[in-house]
Amino acid sequence: MVSKKIQQFDPVANLQEIEEKFEMFQILNEEGEIVNQEVDLQLSDDQLVELMSRMVFTRILDQRSISLNRQGRLGFYAPTAGQEASQIASHYALEKEDYILPGYRDVPQIVWHGLPLWKVFLWSRGHFVGGQIPEDVNVLSPQIIIGAQYVQTAGVALGIQKRGKKAVAVAYTGDGGSSQGDFYEGINFAGAFRSPAIFIVQNNQYAISTPRELQTAASTIAQKGIAAGIPSIQVDGMDPLAVYVATRDARRRAITGDGPSLIETVCYRYGPHTMAGDDPTRYRTSETDSKWEKKDPIVRFRKFLVAKGLWNEEKETEVIAKAKEEIKVAIKKADETPKQKVTDLIRNMNDGDLPYNLQEQFEIYAEKESK
């Protein structure tokens, strides 16, 4: 026998090799130029314009939501500016039959999925009608517990699979959420069942104040999907075309039985964590802010579309006016919704008759609220 020297497995080199393979996927650079010609976008001019319109609408929605919050006309609000590509372009690759499990910053996606804006405003104010999901809208209300939607997404995806539907379940969270146990359990379950799920980690660099570097030793969040045996990609989350294509491809794999995917969108939130007193200057420098603002998704997409002759100032003004009007109408509708009562909340505790304790409490509050 000729002894053959087997090269010793080098775990350090192996990790390095894997991490180096996770190159950030980009199609449109900061100048609005296509840098990845090989990708077939399969988007018509109208679709490109629609995507831009939605992103502009969403930026306006963010600005108005912030000011409504400051006026005391909205409650809890987590700003979205900077994340339009990550949120809207990923959503643009979905279909109505797909089911979205959002985090608390992911209000725009569920609005574009069909949840009426006035309901979202009521949800923000803390009114139960805001949580009532119309039957034909496949979304949950934004999740407050970080990462809880991962395991639920695995469940919705398994349900979709068992029903034989051509649809996907989509979880949205952030970089902080990818440190939760539920992240690992959720992607692992979906992988094990080969269910049609897409897990979108919007790496906006900070979990409140804690920087991405402190969340994990992994050089990308995307690579965490490898351990669960699911296709994973890191995309430029400020590039709407890259986000769109990555989500579209993940969806195609999912509905053809190829299981779940993980997408890390590298992006930035310009605003505070929420409007409840977070001050980003405590943990971010203005240099960092302006570095990211140069990558702005709307700016680069505008450049791209203007160069193609698909977008101009007039069009943008039109979208902005439309957004402002729709927001105004939605706020008015939210204002007109009857005040909620404790008896309403008691009624929503269970199906059918109330148990004795709630029945007694219902009567007490009905009496109080009749005065």
Partner 1 sequence: MAQMTMIQAITDALHCELKDDENVLVFGEDVGVNGGVFRATEGLQKEFGKDRVFDTPLAESGIGGLAIGLALQGFRPVPEIQFFGFVYEVMDSICGQLARMRYRSGGSLGAPVTIRSPFGGGVHTPEMHSDSLEGLVASQPGLKVVVPSTPYDAKGLLISSIRDNDPVVFLEHLKLYRSFREEVPEESYTIPLGKADVKREGKDISIFAYGAMVHESLKAAEALEKENYSVEVVDLRTIQPLDIETIIASVEKTGRAIVVQEAQKQAGIAANVVSEITERAILSLEAPVLRVTAPDTVYPFPQAEAVWLPNSKDIIATAKKVLEF
Q: Closest approach of Cβ 194 to partner 1, in Å?
A: 13
CA distance 312 to 305: 8
27 and 245 Cβ atoms separated by less than 8 Å:
yes
CB of 132 to partner 1, least distance (A): 4
Residues 6+ apart with CB under 8 A from 17: none
Based on the number of CB atoms within 10 Å of its own CB, is 171 exposed (0-12), middle (13-18) or buried (19 or more)? buried
In terms of Cβ atoms closer than 10 Å to its own Cβ (0-12, 13-18, 19+), residue 103 is: buried
Q: How many CA atoms lie within 13 A of 158 on its CB side?
A: 14
DSSP string, 300-358: HHHHHHHHTT---HHHHHHHHHHHHHHHHHHHHHHHHSPPP-HHHHHHTTSSSSPPHHH
Residues at the contact surface with partner 1, assessed by CB under 8 A: 99, 128-135, 140-141, 145, 148, 150-160, 162-163, 169, 181-182, 185-186, 188-189, 192, 345, 347-352, 355-358
Phi/psi of residue 266, each to 5°? -85, 110
Smallest distance from partner 1 to CB 128, Å: 4
> For partner 1, which is the closer residue by CB, 49 or 358?
358
When the beta carbons of 152 and 219 are compared against partner 1, the nearer one is 152
CB of 156 to partner 1, least distance (A): 4
CB of 258 to partner 1, least distance (A): 19
We find the least distance from the C-beta atom of residue 140 to partner 1, in angstroms, to be 7
Q: How far is the CB of 217 from partner 1 (least distance, A)?
A: 22
Q: Which residue, 182 or 264, is less far from partner 1 as judged by CB?
A: 182
**Token pair for residue 42?**
């399969």
Nearer to partner 1, 38 or 135 (CB): 135
DSSP notation for 266-294: E----S-S-TTT--GGGT--HHHHHHHHT
- Catalogue the long-range contacts made by 250-258 (C-beta closer than 8 Å, 24 or more residues apart): 250/168, 250/198, 251/93, 251/94, 251/95, 251/98, 251/168, 251/198, 254/157, 254/168, 254/195, 254/196, 254/197, 254/198, 255/166, 255/167, 255/168, 255/196, 257/194, 257/196, 258/194, 258/231
Residues noted as catalytic: 269, 273, 283
